Copies of this chain bind each other. A is one copy, B any other.
Amino acid sequence: MPENPLHTLMNPKSIAIVGASNNPLKMGTMQALSALKDGYSGKLYPIHPQEKTVIGLKAFASPEDLPETPDLGMIVVPQAHVFPLMESFGRIGTKRIIVCTAGFKEVGAEGKRLETKLNETAARWGIRFVGPNCMGILNSAISLNLTVMRFDGRPGLLGIASQSGTYITQTLAYLRNRGIRLSKAISTGNEANIDLIEAMSYLGEDEQSRAVALYVESIRDGQRFIEEARKITPYKPVFAQYVGGSTAGARAGLSHTGAMAGPDFLYDGIFKQAGIIRVHSIEDLYAHGWTAATQPPLQGNRIAVITHSGGPGTAMANAAEQGGLTVPTLSAEVQNQIRPYIPPHASSANPVDLTFNMDTDQMTIHIPEILLKSGEIDGLIIHGPMRSGWMKEVYPHLSMLFNNLPLEDFLANFPNNLAAAMALPAKYKLPLLICSFLDRSDNFVETYEDNNIPVFDAPEKTARAMLSLLRHKEIRGRKAFSRPAPPPPSPEAQKIIRNAVAAGQKALDEAAGKRILALYGIPVAREMLVFSSDEATVAAAAIGYPVALKACDWQIMHKSGKGLIALNLRTEEDLQAAFASIRRAAGRDVPILVQEMLAGGRELVVGMTRFPGFDPCILFGLGGIFTEILKDNTLRLAPLSAADAEEMLDDIKAKAILDGIRGMPAADRTALAAIIQSLGFIALNHNEIAEIDLNPVILTGANPVVADALFVLKG
């Protein structure tokens, strides 16, 4: 495997910046100033056609004039100059470039053409580059800041790759104010060359980055994304925010699967498949990423809550339990250890409520230590540690009773055993999260944050961050992924499809579709295609009453509600009447499928659709009338391992439908997973198929059987 190009790009010993000048409001100048002032110790070479010095550094007229070959070139100049500069860097042997310049793919077809050309130029010289249209990179390990914003130089633990430059520039002050420190940050821009997937892989390999955050607007290669992510996610938590696609959600599609599988839904499934924890706000991307980067893995689902106030304690416990954590009642033994530290009527059960007091040792040292060593919990949340911030609030009132002693002197009377409090998590190796309504002007907030213990400004957020650790516990427990090989294509299936395409069909008729399913081992209802009422009688007798009749013609893609289906026919008389009725409704002598009536009250859907970059996708969900009503589905990219397919079964809200309920047996999960997996193989083997609906797949007892199938063809 070739080394990830970001290893060298992110760690240059020398950098040439083109586009920096002495004009302070130019982006290139600001980036060069960041490199100069934020602690980078490598060589910095401004390239400028006229100036002798730029931001106090000796400037060079072109890359060819440099005294050495820089490890990294950064280009922040108008678009027309980008190509000659790329050539220049190529000639001197620079292999890594950042192209910040905009005006490429994002502005339309001509830009896209230029971007392709840029990539070709780079390839000719063996150059790998980030951009164009990006905002730079940040590597806190070597204090290298190549963004326009100021970076405080403090090494962090959270790596981020973002398809929006904003989230590694505009938010740097935001992050600093919340005690969140980045390890590495990469603005990927248009991704003409190095893309988000390579950035993710790099951060996955980077030891400094203990967790990875991704801001995603588009993934172009779903297969590679999932494979690379699955190398990381069993070990290192990866978070992603995806926005977009809500309006474009409902595509026009001939199948239900196609219509339901909008981009938001697609990314949801892909992230799950990849083992990536999806968040729904930029705040959570940073905060949960930081939590996972700083905290040891959560090993179980039991947490304790310490609070000095009922409201926040209840809110934390409630939010935690809603997401799958438990807040168990502590043993009598542990409660007895806690009792001396809390008032008589306060609760020691969990949440442990100290009621309001100013003795921070109880809240941050004594009670936490009892809990952390108890063996009864897997993680701890504390609401309320505070001292100087709170005193700043109340002291202006109180000072008159302290002879107007200055606040600083007053605070000196309160020794804070901050070091002892901060040492606890390392000693017991359990996750610890803090909630406080104060900010970093409070010494407890500041000290916790600076010791890699996250602080949240609301109880619900604190609990939700702990839930992200629980999500990663679940991901760590997944079965390893091995990409299964599809079976060889069925020649008979190939022939069915080829004939249909040759005949100009837009779809297969139900019988043909079911035949293909059967060829791939997917269980289908027993059925016979008939062309006359006499044949129907013979077929029904062979299959056995009750039977169903259905019009069978590729032009009839959706039959329900149109008089084209008759169910539960119990006698020959009923059969004949239904046969005539269906032909009347069809308006012609349409072929008719005689099918066994499948008994069973549980209907599912399995479907297939294709997205650019995600081809083919398999859908699983509630079937029958609930397909449209509840849209309770989940999506994955094929090929799927059996374990992947089984995960889909647990990923719908109505998953309990697969349990033993109301006297019905539990569904055969292996058989269901096999249908899901095989449908993916069909799609991979037969590229002429655009979409497939198997709806309903009926559970007859435990066994899933396909009752209806629609194959939509491309073209």
Check B657 against A625 for contact (C-beta < 8 Å). Answer: yes
Name the CB-closest residue of B to A355.
B102
Query: Does residue A50 face the partner (Cβ distance < 8 Å to B)?
Result: no
Check A315 against B282 for contact (C-beta < 8 Å). Answer: yes
Name the CB-closest residue of B to A150.
B393
Query: Does residue A394 face the partner (Cβ distance < 8 Å to B)?
Result: yes
User: How far does the alpha carbon of A398 sit from the alpha carbon of B32 in the complex, in Å?
Assistant: 10
Known: A244-B318, A310-B164, A318-B243. A457 touches B561 (CB 8 A): no
Residues of B within 8 A of A663 (CB): 560-563
Name the CB-closest residue of B to A162.
B311
Q: Which of A629-665 contact B (CB under 8 A)?
A: 629-630, 632, 653-654, 656-657, 661-664
Query: Does residue A588 face the partner (Cβ distance < 8 Å to B)?
Result: no
A133 to chain B, nearest CB (A): 10
Residues of B within 8 A of A570 (CB): 570
Check A166 against B311 for contact (C-beta < 8 Å). Answer: yes
A302 to chain B, nearest CB (A): 13
User: How far does the alpha carbon of A397 sit from the alpha carbon of B146 in the complex, in Å?
Assistant: 12
User: How far does the alpha carbon of A430 sit from the alpha carbon of B160 in the complex, in Å?
Assistant: 37
User: How far does the alpha carbon of A656 sit from the alpha carbon of B622 in the complex, in Å?
Assistant: 15
Check A601 against B625 for contact (C-beta < 8 Å). Answer: yes
The 8 A-B pairs with the shortest beta carbon distances in the complex, nearest first, are A561-B663, A164-B311, A24-B401, A281-B460, A33-B397, A166-B309, A174-B437, A24-B398
30 CB contacts below 8 A, A to B, read A24-B401, A25-B358, A30-B398, A33-B398, A103-B345, A108-B345, A148-B394, A149-B394, A150-B394, A150-B397, A172-B393, A173-B389, A173-B438, A174-B457, A217-B310, A243-B314, A243-B318, A246-B318, A246-B322, A280-B460, A282-B312, A282-B458, A283-B458, A560-B662, A568-B568, A601-B624, A601-B625, A629-B654, A630-B632, A630-B653
Name the CB-closest residue of B to A280.
B460
Known: A244-B318, A461-B283, A653-B630. A29 touches B401 (CB 8 A): yes
User: How far does the alpha carbon of A647 sit from the alpha carbon of B630 in the complex, in Å?
Assistant: 19
Q: Which of A487-533 contact B (CB under 8 A)?
A: none
User: How far does the alpha carbon of A396 sit from the alpha carbon of B152 in the complex, in Å?
Assistant: 11
Residues of B within 8 A of A628 (CB): 656, 661
Our pick among B24, B561, B662 for the contact of A625 (Cβ within 8 Å) is B662
Our pick among B33, B315, B439, B654 for the contact of A626 (Cβ within 8 Å) is B654
Check B314 against A217 for contact (C-beta < 8 Å). Answer: yes
Q: Which of A557-583 contact B (CB under 8 A)?
A: 560-563, 568, 570
Residues of B within 8 A of A402 (CB): 24
Query: Does residue A1 face the partner (Cβ distance < 8 Å to B)?
Result: no
Our pick among B173, B345, B461 for the contact of A437 (Cβ within 8 Å) is B173
Check A561 against B664 for contact (C-beta < 8 Å). Answer: yes
A691 to chain B, nearest CB (A): 20
Residues of B within 8 A of A280 (CB): 460
Name the CB-closest residue of B to A624.
B601
Interface size class on chain A is 35 or more
Q: Which of A614-630 contact B (CB under 8 A)?
A: 624-626, 628-630
User: How far does the alpha carbon of A167 sit from the alpha carbon of B663 in the complex, in Å?
Assistant: 50
Q: Which of A228-259 contact B (CB under 8 A)?
A: 241, 243-247
Query: Does residue A602 face the partner (Cβ distance < 8 Å to B)?
Result: yes
A561 to chain B, nearest CB (A): 2
Instruction: Please give 20 more A-B residue pairs, beta carbons under 8 A apart, in addition to A172-B393, A281-B460, A601-B624.
Output: A23-B401, A24-B402, A25-B358, A107-B345, A108-B345, A150-B393, A163-B311, A166-B311, A173-B438, A215-B311, A243-B314, A246-B317, A246-B318, A247-B317, A282-B458, A283-B457, A560-B662, A560-B663, A628-B661, A630-B654
Check A396 against B244 for contact (C-beta < 8 Å). Answer: no
A699 to chain B, nearest CB (A): 11
Check B630 against A602 for contact (C-beta < 8 Å). Answer: no
Residues of B within 8 A of A246 (CB): 317-318, 321-322
Query: Does residue A177 face the partner (Cβ distance < 8 Å to B)?
Result: yes
Residues of B within 8 A of A322 (CB): 246
Q: Which of A150-179 contact B (CB under 8 A)?
A: 150, 162-167, 170-174, 177
Known: A437-B171, A626-B654. A459 touches B282 (CB 8 A): yes
User: How far does the alpha carbon of A393 sit from the alpha carbon of B33 in the complex, in Å?
Assistant: 13
Residues of B within 8 A of A23 (CB): 401
Our pick among B34, B358, B384, B632 for the contact of A397 (Cβ within 8 Å) is B34
Residues of B within 8 A of A245 (CB): 318
User: How far does the alpha carbon of A630 sit from the alpha carbon of B439 in the complex, in Å?
Assistant: 41
Check A309 against B170 for contact (C-beta < 8 Å). Answer: yes
Query: Does residue A106 face the partner (Cβ distance < 8 Å to B)?
Result: yes
Name the CB-closest residue of B to A103.
B345
Query: Does residue A365 face the partner (Cβ distance < 8 Å to B)?
Result: no
Query: Does residue A22 face the partner (Cβ distance < 8 Å to B)?
Result: yes
Query: Does residue A67 face the partner (Cβ distance < 8 Å to B)?
Result: no
Our pick among B166, B398, B460, B561 for the contact of A282 (Cβ within 8 Å) is B460
User: How far does the alpha carbon of A327 sit from the alpha carbon of B243 in the complex, in Å?
Assistant: 15
Convert A29-56 into 0s and 1s, putting 1 for each residue whose CB lies closer than 8 angstroms to a CB of B: 1100110010000000000000000011
Known: A398-B30, A656-B628. A174 touches B438 (CB 8 A): yes
Check B103 against A37 for contact (C-beta < 8 Å). Answer: no
Name the CB-closest residue of B to A34.
B397
Query: Does residue A400 face the partner (Cβ distance < 8 Å to B)?
Result: yes
Q: Which of A377-423 contact B (CB under 8 A)?
A: 384, 389, 393-394, 396-398, 400-402
